[in-house]
Amino acid sequence: MAEPLAYLNGCLAPFSQTRLPLSDLGIVMGASVTEMARTFGHACYRLGDHVDRLYRSLRHVGFAVELTPQAFWDQVESLVRANAPLVPPHHDLGVSMFVTAGSALIYSGAKGKATARRPTVCIHTFPLPFELWAEKYAGGQHVVTPSIRHIPPECLDPKIKARSRMHWYLADEQARLVDPKAISLLLDRNDNITETSTANFFIVTSGGRVITPPPHNTLQGISQLAVMELCARLQIPCEQRDFQTYDVVNADEAFTSSTPYCILPVTRINGKPIGTGQPGPVFARILSAWSREVGLDIVLQMTRGAAERLAELETTA
């Protein structure tokens, strides 16, 4: 069976042969910035936005990569063209892009000290695991606000999409102790809602207004931007401002946005139902508009793809 290719520091190789050295600072210190895009119909969606955000993060952390943004974009497109035929036509790919600080000199010895440290650049793809999200379009997600707090912007600017995520791992583990089906939704030091480990968060008020946290306190999500653009197109009022758990409990609806699944409803917070405890009409309008934009039924792709992937896993088990 053919194997997908991956890009590492200017070279293409089979995915299984693409390896980082143990001395890489992405492993030693978690010193890396990252992006994830996806395809629709095997074509990259909003890739320019993802590459732009990646290069903003790179400039901020001081990782000097040799690839220009356009060259990076071209490499992603080339890799997707090579790997897309390995998945069924109605399935799609996730595209992982990351850049680390390079090799840790303490592990590299004299040879490492003799040369300037070069960032490690990696791009790879993977079949989107639809089964992780398919059932949640109807049933919704549960969120829990754990004791672990969001890292303040004074410590680490949330506009940097970094892979140093131990606090998110611990927060999700803590959330699952409360509700095995839950993900964590972090508060900041002032009890404002921020984001989940993989998604931006939204509520819909009783007046039909969509609210998401302000950009100074969370990652400026590409899917979050898409939601705000769709709201403008649908004439749904939308704003970015602080709000608290009280507002979520009293909202009519809530949902998250993230690259692989676009948007998913949130139906419970800390064990309490949000609105009717079911996905709401504003969520449905935005999701329908998103499906029209990308030219396929997002939920249908997820549910059919999940069933096919699970059936395949059973036959190969």
- Please, what are the averages of pLDDT over each run of 10 residues along the chain (317 residues)? 92 96 93 98 98 98 96 98 97 98 81 70 98 97 98 94 93 98 98 98 97 96 99 98 99 99 99 98 99 98 96 80
Fold held by 5-128:
D-amino Acid Aminotransferase; Chain A, domain 1 (3.30.470)
- The pLDDT assigned to 3 comes to 95
Pairing between β-strand 32-40 and β-strand 43-44 as defined by DSSP bridges: antiparallel
pLDDT at 279: 98
Q: How far apart are CA 131 and CA 307, in angstroms?
A: 7
CA–CA gap between residue 200 and residue 211 (Å, rounded): 11
Contact 186, 245 (CB under 8 A): no
- Residue 200 near residue 212, CB atoms below 8 Å: yes
Give the 3-state DSSP-derived string for the chain, with helices as H, strands as E and coil as C.
CCCCEEEECCEEEEHHHCCCCCCEHHHHCCCEEEEEEEEECCEECCHHHHHHHHHHHHHHHCCCCCCCHHHHHHHHHHHHHHHHHHCCCCCCEEEEEEEECCECHHHHHHHHHHCCCCCEEEEEEEECCHHHCCCHHHHCEEEECCCCCCCCCCCCCCCCCECCCHHHHHHHHHHHHHCCCEEECCECCCCEECECCCCEEEEECCCCCEEECCCCCCCCCHHHHHHHHHHHHHCCCEEECCCEHHHHHCCCEEEEEECCCEEEEEEEECCEECCCCCCCHHHHHHHHHHHHHHCCCHHHHHHHHHHHHHHHHHHHC
Distance of CA 45 to the CA centre of its chain: 13
**Could you tell me the pTM of the whole model?**
0.95
Domain spanning 136-301: which superfamily? Answer: D-amino Acid Aminotransferase, subunit A, domain 2 (3.20.10.10)
| Per-residue pLDDT at 315 | 80
d(C-alpha 178, C-alpha 173), whole Å: 9
For residue 315, give every residue at least 6 positions away whose Cβ sits within 8 Å of its Cβ, in sequence order, or none.
none
CA 294 to mean position of chain CA atoms: 18
**Tell me, what's the pLDDT at 163?**
87
Q: Which two tokens stand for residue 264?
A: 């998913």
CA–CA distance, 154 with 82 (Å, rounded to integer): 42
Quote the pLDDT of residue 116.
63
Domains of the chain: which residue ranges? 5-128, 136-301
CA distances from 206 to 14, 143, 193, 274 (A): 52, 20, 18, 12
Query: Which residue(s) pair with 95 in the sheet?
Result: 37, 125
Neighbours of 163 (CB within 10 A): 13
